[in-house]
Copies of this chain bind each other. A is one copy, B any other.
């Protein structure tokens, strides 16, 4: 792992047994919520609640002290008042615990006294070889070990997107938001103050994690720039990374300092570093997920040339503007495609890229057009806008089953031709063909500009990998 010493880090993600220290009877206490989430999400290892004032909690036998737990403990989740954390960490060292997650707040983020306390905890942990997440964090979620040691009311689906968040509120928001939208995660980490484990360590782990295809990261600043760059270099040689780095204005930087005590750094430097390592930078919340979903599901394009099929002239103009303004290319339509489309489209169709399917109610011509563009080497990515809404919008319900069946056939073309297809439905997600596309591995986006950003991200990372290969 390029000289990285991640030591016991893997026990954060793959513990065989967990102690919850500070497990509580009070249903509003984090120590209660987290124990409940660990149990209810179905963690399959052993769980030991630790609380000197209880005999049992949520049906599990309770221990007064971690030292009294009869078996080995891989991971301790700590949610006790800040001033008790050093003693608890000491006990964990004695017990031979390998990793910890410190939920408790009140450390370096509150000033010099907290900073002192945090350093003490780090010292104890280092001495005992314990690697830990936090403090001052919202916990973690790991799909492969069915570990939800975080406090969201609903757990996300298992999936192949990992996310790392420097903001606890963001971590909670993202998990809930993604769960509402049915987006699946391989892992989610709220990094807190990063007193021990930091962004770079998690990236190194995820680079080799087989359940993760792409990582998204919310950050405000980086502690160790050189280490971060080494981690990026290793990680992005294997997998795509999407980063929302905020604090890029003076007001934003001030807000970040008071939030995570992050030194946001000069924004241009981040831009240079991200560019150097093929990292996709975004500025809006939903772009992280939009782009990650594409990386998680679609093949990478071979270049920047996009063929567009739309069901209306306005969308052809809008997509042309959106793609070109991101530096993507719209090559002309080859003659043989024009000839083929002449057979299925009305005589007055536009005969250019974007192909305007001229609001035909039939779904089949869309498939013909998509397949012609997928097959042709002039296009690296195909964008499809406005497919399959006539059944509902024009109130022709009898067409819907055909729209859905053809959507499945269109989605299958992605595997057949190994080329990405980016689908836009500006009306919303509430159409049955949207479900068909997504169940067959093709994400659907609600805005042409958002979809254009997705295509740009795929093309950028693909180019990065090609450059990397050439250098070797």
For residue A234, CB closer than 8 A to chain B, the reply is no
For residue A96, CB closer than 8 A to chain B, the reply is no
Q: Which residues of A contact B (CB under 8 A)?
A: 110, 151-153, 165-170, 172-173, 176-177, 180, 218, 220, 246-252, 254-256, 258-260, 283-286, 311-318, 320-321, 323-325, 330, 348, 350, 352, 354, 356, 359, 386, 392-395, 426-428, 430, 447-449
| B313 adjacent to A255 (CB under 8 Å) | yes
| Distance in angstroms between the alpha carbons of A291 and B251 in the assembled complex | 24
Q: Point out which of A168, A251, A350, A395 has the most chain B C-beta atoms below 10 A from its C-beta.
A: A251
| A321 adjacent to B248 (CB under 8 Å) | yes
> A243: shortest Cβ distance to chain B, in Å?
14
Top 9 closest pairs, chain A to chain B, by CB = A169-B312, A167-B314, A259-B313, A252-B321, A170-B314, A251-B320, A153-B395, A249-B324, A252-B320
> A21: shortest Cβ distance to chain B, in Å?
22
> A79: shortest Cβ distance to chain B, in Å?
16
Q: Which residues of B contact A252 (CB under 8 A)?
A: 317-318, 320-321, 324
Chain B residue with Cβ nearest A171:
B314
Q: Which residues of B contact A176 (CB under 8 A)?
A: 393, 427
Chain B residue with Cβ nearest A316:
B255
Q: Which residues of B contact A427 (CB under 8 A)?
A: 173, 176-177, 180
Query: How many copies of this chain does the complex contain?
Result: 2
| A324 adjacent to B153 (CB under 8 Å) | no
Chain B residue with Cβ nearest A392:
B153
| Distance in angstroms between the alpha carbons of A247 and B325 in the assembled complex | 11
| Distance in angstroms between the alpha carbons of A43 and B251 in the assembled complex | 53
| B255 adjacent to A317 (CB under 8 Å) | yes
* Among B170, B248, B313, contact of A169 (Cβ-Cβ < 8 Å): B313
Q: Which residues of B contact A110 (CB under 8 A)?
A: 348
| B286 adjacent to A324 (CB under 8 Å) | no
| B321 adjacent to A359 (CB under 8 Å) | no
| Distance in angstroms between the alpha carbons of A126 and B180 in the assembled complex | 57
Question: Given A153-B393, A176-B427, A325-B249, are A320 and B354 also a contact pair (CB < 8 Å)?
Answer: no
Q: Which residues of B contact A311 (CB under 8 A)?
A: 169
> A156: shortest Cβ distance to chain B, in Å?
13
| B447 adjacent to A352 (CB under 8 Å) | no
| B318 adjacent to A153 (CB under 8 Å) | no
* Among B165, B259, B447, contact of A284 (Cβ-Cβ < 8 Å): B447
> A412: shortest Cβ distance to chain B, in Å?
27
| A356 adjacent to B314 (CB under 8 Å) | no
> A399: shortest Cβ distance to chain B, in Å?
11
> A249: shortest Cβ distance to chain B, in Å?
4
| Distance in angstroms between the alpha carbons of A378 and B356 in the assembled complex | 51
* Among B152, B315, B316, B359, contact of A393 (Cβ-Cβ < 8 Å): B152
Q: Which residues of B contact A151 (CB under 8 A)?
A: 394
| A354 adjacent to B286 (CB under 8 Å) | no
| Distance in angstroms between the alpha carbons of A273 and B235 in the assembled complex | 48
| B286 adjacent to A447 (CB under 8 Å) | yes
Q: Which residues of B contact A169 (CB under 8 A)?
A: 311-315, 359, 386
**Additional 10 contacts, C-beta under 8 A, given A168-B312, A283-B449:** A165-B314, A167-B313, A169-B315, A170-B315, A176-B393, A180-B430, A258-B352, A259-B313, A284-B449, A286-B447
> A136: shortest Cβ distance to chain B, in Å?
11
| Distance in angstroms between the alpha carbons of A165 and B315 in the assembled complex | 13
| B251 adjacent to A330 (CB under 8 Å) | yes
Q: Which residues of B contact A317 (CB under 8 A)?
A: 167, 220, 246-247, 252, 255-256, 259
Interface pairs (24), CB distance under 8 Å: A110-B348, A153-B395, A166-B314, A167-B313, A167-B317, A168-B312, A169-B311, A169-B313, A169-B315, A170-B315, A173-B314, A220-B314, A220-B317, A246-B321, A247-B317, A249-B321, A249-B324, A252-B320, A252-B321, A255-B313, A258-B313, A258-B316, A259-B314, A259-B350
